[in-house]
Amino acid sequence: ADLKATGESFTAVGDPIIVGDRLFVTTSTDLVKIDRATGEIVARVKTFGHVSYFSRPVYARGVVIVPSDDGSLAAFTADTRRP
């Protein structure tokens, strides 16, 4: 899967987490949901902040929590990716 957003020549990619049959990974500005079996990007959503390569998202009770460089957190439901 190409994790770069349109127009990006480089993107930071954080540590992935596995949730069921999906893989979640952060890029510079997005949370990306990937099908583990096919490697296809299933969904992509903006995280509302810049996320560096050392980002470590967390999954708990159906929610993926993403830390941003400025110390803020963004939380998305794993199934719908809504904040």
Q: Three-state SS across the chain?
A: CCCCCCCCCCCCCCCCEEECCEEEEECCCEEEEEECCCCCEEEEEECCCCCCCCCCCEEECCEEEEECCCCCEEEEECCCCCC
Position 20 confidence tier, pLDDT thresholds 50, 70, 90: very high
- What is the per-residue pLDDT across 34-80, written as a single tens digit (0 to 9) for each? 999 999 999 989 888 888 767 789 999 999 999 888 888 899 998 87
Q: Is the pLDDT of residue 8 over 90?
A: no
Question: Residue range 4-33: average pLDDT?
Answer: 84
- Average pLDDT (3-19) is 78
Q: Can you give the pLDDT at residue 78?
A: 87
